[in-house]
């Protein structure tokens, strides 16, 4: 098992699904964890109780608001006594097929999705990097999506936001490497989470599972495993890497 004893980790969208699995994995490996949540205080408290060890905290913030994103990083540094690793996991998916929504609905979906999935991550990266540059470096791992590569016809803003997240991450990998800050990306396909339940439990569920030769979708713990690898000591030369966690359901060159 990878070891993170004494490391301080901030995870956005950390109270459920993939974020919770990442938090659990880091805690089991010896890290102190701050999970960010937007509104569901009960879920956040439940997640903290599941974490091994002591000193974990839950921090409320709507990171789509740049001021709140900056405050979140400050509160994580203060609450944990430092910050070594950031995982930008928070994200939303809004269905807005171009053939069936109004222009106002179309624009609203784009604005909300980009602000949450891309601009918020950019804000967190900036603020975390300022701290890391003053304190010997760190790790940033951004959670993207298979949709960044294959497209998302029902939710094009989602695919675009994740493609932007990939590009931003690789730009930051180059910019921050001289400061001993390493940036990586994990790009899952469908994962067994509340966010995907509507699709997986619906009439398309079997077809979605059949996209992978494994005949299933990913478990949150499998995504967490990839995140911890990118954040680990010894993985520095993978900076700028995008790891696909989609069970060979979509292969890119």
Element (H, E) at 234: none
pLDDT at 143: 98
pLDDT at 1: 72
pLDDT at 20: 97
- Which two three-digit tokens encode residue 57? 């905290």
pLDDT at 40: 94
pLDDT at 2: 86
The catalytic residue positions are: 145, 158, 162
pTM: 0.96
pLDDT at 122: 98
The fold of the 8-245 domain, in CATH, is Rossmann fold (3.40.50)
> What does the DSSP 8-state code read for residue 116?
I
Going from N- to C-terminal start, the domains of the chain cover 8-245
At residue 183, the 3 state secondary structure works out as strand
Positions of the chain with pLDDT under 70: none
Interior CA angle at 137 toward 133 and 141, to 5°?
Answer: 110
pLDDT at 232: 98
The string over 36-71, giving b where at least 16 C-beta atoms fall within 10 Å of a residue's C-beta and e elsewhere, is: bbbeeeebbeebbeebeeeebbbbebbbbebebbbe
């Amino acid at each position: 098992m990878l070891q993170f004893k004494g490391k301080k980790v901030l995870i956005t969208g950390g109270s459920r699904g993939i974020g919770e699995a990442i938090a659990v994995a880091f805690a089991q490996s010896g890290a102190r964890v701050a999970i960010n949540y937007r509104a569901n205080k009960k879920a956040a408290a439940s997640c903290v109780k599941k974490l091994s060890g002591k000193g974990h905290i839950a921090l409320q913030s709507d990171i789509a608001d740049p001021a709140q994103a900056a405050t979140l990083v400050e509160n994580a540094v203060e609450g944990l006594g430092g910050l070594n690793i950031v995982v930008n996991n928070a994200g939303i998916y809004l269905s807005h097929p171009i053939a069936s929504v109004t222009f106002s609905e179309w624009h609203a979906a784009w604005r909300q999705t980009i602000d949450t999935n891309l601009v918020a991550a950019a804000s967190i990266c900036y603020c975390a990097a300022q701290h890391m540059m003053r304190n010997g470096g760190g790790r940033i791992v951004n959670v993207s999506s298979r949709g960044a590569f294959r497209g998302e016809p029902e939710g094009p803003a989602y695919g675009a936001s994740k493609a932007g997240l990939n590009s931003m991450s690789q730009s930051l990998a180059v910019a921050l490497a001289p400061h001993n800050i390493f940036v990586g990306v994990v790009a899952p396909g469908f994962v067994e989470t509340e966010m995907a339940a509507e699709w997986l439990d619906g009439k398309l569920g079997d077809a979605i599972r059949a996209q992978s030769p494994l005949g299933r979708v990913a478990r949150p713990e499998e995504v967490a495993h990839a995140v911890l690898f990118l954040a680990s000591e010894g993985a520095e030369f993978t900076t700028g890497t995008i790891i696909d966690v989609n069970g060979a359901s979509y292969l890119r060159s």
